[in-house]
Structure 1
Amino acid sequence: MAAIKPSLAKGTRDFSPVEMEKRNYIFNTLKTVFKKFGYSEIQTPSFENLSTLTGKYGDEGDKLIFKILNSGDYLSKASTALLEEKNSTKLIPQISEKALRYDLTVPFARYVVMHQNDIALPFKRFQIQPVWRADRPQRGRYREFYQCDVDVVGSDSLLNEAEFILIYHEALKALGLKDFTIKINNRKILTGIAEIIGKPELIVDMTVAIDKLDKIGLDGVNKELLERGFAQEDLDILKPIILLEGTNYNKLQALKTVLASSDNGLKGIQEIEEVFAYIKAFGANDSVLDTSVEVDITLARGLNYYTGCIFEVKTNEVAMGSIGGGGRYDDLTGMFGLKDLTGVGVSFGADRIYDVLEELNLYPVSNATNTKLLIVNFDKEIEKYTLPILGRLRQEEIAVELYPIAAKLKKQMSYADAKNIPFVLLVGEEEQQSGLLTLKNMESGDQIKVTIEDLIDKLK
């Protein structure tokens, strides 16, 4: 049989030790911040019942769910008529009962409903796990990728929204980013704008268009609004709202005037003001509002999903799309029969953050291997002599390796170089007799004689 040429499944990646070190640096930094704010980690299975996922992401989303064929002869119970009809949409429920998770949100909702008697509300959780989407792979978009979600359910307090801004600020600063913008808007403000124009039924069309302001400019937005059923007089009302400038305070004051006749709009403004008041009340975080937070009326992510404050985060140091986002939702668990459980959550785009840190050279100095010392293996007698040394060093929590076979010194040194092992221990007949071991610094090339105690002190 001819050898099969190895290849990766399209839209997936391998991660080297160096890359894993960088990814874990991001994940561990985020976890530290999440825990500091009282969030606990959960994990859910990589696959769910297909019925759990289907119908939660719309028709287009359902098409991107990776289905898992039933085990055994999965076609044996399939309808002959459907097989002949070759209608995969109708056939799938008969041959597939499971699917890889599409996101972390629906599994989280399922988790909350199933464990509602075991968890204390408000329930604050974070989750960092891979998800899968049968999307067309392209630069920055993969079929397998990680999501980093942090949510709280069972609390309508705007303290949660304020803390998510602080979580973003603290986490991104901890990762070394200096210049980023945490954008905030409110679904109720967008509803109010649609109301004062007199077209509340076109709120989705309006927000889809104005959300593209950065990409297509005002003329492009106006053209799209006209195509979506708005009149020129509607555009005249919208223009000064879309182009609001000034400080966050100035923007909110202007909106109060524009939306004076809309209770929804005024409620949205009030919610943002309350979020800002919470942040100011933290005292030491006054500068967060001045330097990092921006009221952006054109922000309209996930409008069919979010019901209150909406967030999006962008770095200003690298040309990159959003590196995070989220918002308030009022019925996360309703899809599984548990009604009226409000929540709010945000996510971090780990893959984009990875690329940003790479471009800005913000990762700590690489130490892709944890090994501090390689013990050279000359022969079986030396191997037997050095095994107790190996054991003693590991008892002292020092990462150490013994080269597994007797090999030429050059080969063993090349191994140490390849793994960035900083020290090599040379033990020969002289060392055995004197008890003084030869320690070589791989960076400087210097060699010194040490006792085992000296060695422990140096490596620690």
Structure 2
Amino acid sequence: VYGLYGFQQIETPAMETLQTLMGKYGEEGDKLLFKVLNSGDYLSKITSEEIEERNSLRLATKLCEKGLRYDLTVPFARYVVQHREEIQLPFKRYQIQPVWRADRPQKGRYREFYQCDADVVGSDSLLNEVELMQIVDTVFTRFGVRVCIKINNRKILTGIAEVIGEAEKIVDITVAIDKLDKIGLDGVNDELRRDGISEEAIEKLQPIIALEGTNDDKLATIASVLQASETGLKGVEETRFILDTLKTCGLNNQIELDLTLARGLNYYTGAIFEVKALDYAIGSITGGGRYDNLTGIFGLPGLSGVGISFGADRIYDVLNGLDLYPKEAVNGTKLLFINFGEKEVAYCLPILTKCRAAGIRTEIFPDSVKMKKQMAYANAKQVPYVALVGESEIAEGKLTLKNMATGEQSLVTPDELVEAIK
């Protein structure tokens, strides 16, 4: 699907220098970085005093110069800066590779997992956001998974904070609003009071907390609350453009404006997206947004980008839970040749080559053991067809083809065998 939209694939190394990785994910992220010991005598530059001090953080900086990548975004920023002379802007890239986090594994959280990222850098156009949402919609339609695409805008959140005069409390506010379904309006207001938000600010927040209706209704309410905030109104305008344009594209899945969505607040600067599966309980299975200065950390300021990331492993969990794996995705053996001995194998090998050349997944049992054992192997691997060649078949220049599902057997030439299976 990425290819359909003109994205090019790149890959970056599993390891990056710690200098590249550290300080990009916040303190929590730094703790979850897997660090790699320097090669050779890694203790050579360490004094006895430093070892006795047992300051693990300081020791780590001297013992380790490299780490496993934590996400695909920071390596991508490094790649863009490194190749800035060769890259044609806007640069549309996708990357599907594993990332590592020193986390405690549990359902939906892994130490090693695949991210499937697509980003566009060097373009401010909101058409990029529109296309990324179409990509999300197409992918989940093909998977047969019903999803809700949630959208918000960082500028709207900034505008709300400006209008109520509680700029530093925006995270507390979104967390409280997110609990509306569980604890009701009074519960949300009580929580806001506990977070130290003034009565006047809570009063102004009421229409925002109780947002309902269509996306257009919600945007109209937000715009009236944010009349005094230029930033907030810009966020409303951007969101309206994305939603209105998507109406003309005919999405298969629902898209919903959700003000409680506040992912990576210090990171995103415009639209924010998150995707939830409707028929299976798990965290978000895709996320992303617009960021303004990704490459600035590597000395190339002012390059805007927007991207999404599919969480492959969580999507596998959903496909497993809903039994949606396409049967043909498991590329098993289609045809097994039974091994009756040297002479028979010599006759079979050119036919195996012919089958494989025709795209049929074929194997021959490597040992000439009892036929019962070879058939058990075919059953265990759910191989649909078995070819048997004995003296009489060799004499006729044919082979016996057995359909394992029906038990039906037929005598065929090598050409007929290929046709029958294809």
The one-letter amino acid paired with 1:154 is: G
* 1:208-236 deviation per Cα after TM superposition (whole angstroms, max 9, x unaligned): 44345456654554344323321122222
1:67 positional shift: 0.5
* Conservation of the 8 A alpha-carbon contact between 2:154 and 2:265: yes
* 1:112-161 deviation per Cα after TM superposition (whole angstroms, max 9, x unaligned): 11011111111111111111111122222111111111111110000011
1:307 positional shift: 0.4
Pairing 1:394–2:394 present: no
* Conservation of the 8 A alpha-carbon contact between 1:211 and 1:300: no
Partner of 1:198: 165
Pairing 1:153–2:121 present: yes
Picking from 57, 60, 64, the partner of 1:96 is: 64
State how far apart, in whole Å, the 1-side matches of 2:331 and 2:367 are.
20
* Conservation of the 8 A alpha-carbon contact between 1:186 and 1:268: yes
Picking from 246, 261, 266, the partner of 2:213 is: 246
* Conservation of the 8 A alpha-carbon contact between 1:367 and 1:420: no
Partner of 2:315: 353
Q: 1:213 to 1:62 in 2, by over 3 A?
A: farther
* Conservation of the 8 A alpha-carbon contact between 1:376 and 1:409: yes
Picking from 54, 68, 82, the partner of 1:114 is: 82
* Conservation of the 8 A alpha-carbon contact between 2:156 and 2:236: yes
Partner of 1:12: none
Q: 1:214 to 1:127 in 2, by over 3 A?
A: farther
State how far apart, in whole Å, the 2-side matches of 1:170 and 1:442 are.
37
Percent identity, please: 59
State how far apart, in whole Å, the 1-side matches of 2:421 and 2:295 are.
52
State how far apart, in whole Å, the 1-side matches of 2:331 and 2:134 are.
34
1:163 positional shift: 0.9
* 1:152-176 deviation per Cα after TM superposition (whole angstroms, max 9, x unaligned): 1110000011111111111100100
* 1:17-61 deviation per Cα after TM superposition (whole angstroms, max 9, x unaligned): xxxxxxxxxxxxxxxx11111111111111110111011111121
Partner of 1:172: 140
State how far apart, in whole Å, the 2-side matches of 1:304 and 1:294 are.
23
State how far apart, in whole Å, the 2-side matches of 1:270 and 1:397 are.
53
1:337 positional shift: 0.6
Of residues 200-209 and 115-124 in structure 1, the stretch that sits farther from structure 2 once superposed is 200-209
* Conservation of the 8 A alpha-carbon contact between 2:159 and 2:232: yes
TM-score, normalising length from structure 2?
Answer: 0.96
* Conservation of the 8 A alpha-carbon contact between 2:134 and 2:251: no
Picking from 74, 80, 83, the partner of 2:48 is: 80
3-state SS in 1 of match to 2:133: helix
Pairing 1:438–2:388 present: no
Picking from 241, 246, 250, the partner of 1:279 is: 246
Of residues 387-396 and 399-408 in structure 1, the stretch that sits farther from structure 2 once superposed is 387-396
Pairing 1:54–2:54 present: no
State how far apart, in whole Å, the 2-side matches of 1:216 and 1:326 are.
28
The one-letter amino acid paired with 2:57 is: T
3-state SS in 2 of match to 1:378: coil
State how far apart, in whole Å, the 1-side matches of 2:420 and 2:3 are.
34
Picking from 222, 232, 238, the partner of 1:265 is: 232
State how far apart, in whole Å, the 1-side matches of 2:309 and 2:184 are.
27
Picking from 130, 136, 151, the partner of 1:162 is: 130
1:301 positional shift: 1.0
Partner of 1:301: 263
State how far apart, in whole Å, the 2-side matches of 1:376 and 1:201 are.
72
The one-letter amino acid paired with 2:250 is: D
Partner of 2:200: 233
- Structure 2: gaps spanning 5 or more residues: none
Of residues 167-176 and 219-228 in structure 1, the stretch that sits farther from structure 2 once superposed is 219-228
* Conservation of the 8 A alpha-carbon contact between 1:323 and 1:349: yes
* Conservation of the 8 A alpha-carbon contact between 2:175 and 2:260: no
TM-score, normalising length from structure 1?
Answer: 0.88
Partner of 1:451: 413
3-state SS in 2 of match to 1:152: strand
1:76 positional shift: 1.5
The one-letter amino acid paired with 1:391 is: T
State how far apart, in whole Å, the 2-side matches of 1:324 and 1:293 are.
13
State how far apart, in whole Å, the 2-side matches of 1:424 and 1:224 are.
67
Q: 1:325 to 1:220 in 2, by over 3 A?
A: farther
- Structure 1: gaps spanning 5 or more residues: 1-32
Pairing 1:414–2:376 present: yes
Q: 1:215 to 1:156 in 2, by over 3 A?
A: farther
The one-letter amino acid paired with 1:264 is: T
1:426 positional shift: 0.7
State how far apart, in whole Å, the 1-side matches of 2:57 and 2:323 are.
47
* 1:399-455 deviation per Cα after TM superposition (whole angstroms, max 9, x unaligned): 211111211101111111111111111111111111231110111111001011111
Q: 1:214 to 1:164 in 2, by over 3 A?
A: farther
* Conservation of the 8 A alpha-carbon contact between 2:108 and 2:282: no
State how far apart, in whole Å, the 2-side matches of 1:62 and 1:83 are.
22
* Conservation of the 8 A alpha-carbon contact between 1:130 and 1:147: yes
1:65 positional shift: 0.5
State how far apart, in whole Å, the 2-side matches of 1:337 and 1:133 are.
26
1:349 positional shift: 1.7
3-state SS in 2 of match to 1:97: strand
State how far apart, in whole Å, the 1-side matches of 2:322 and 2:221 are.
38
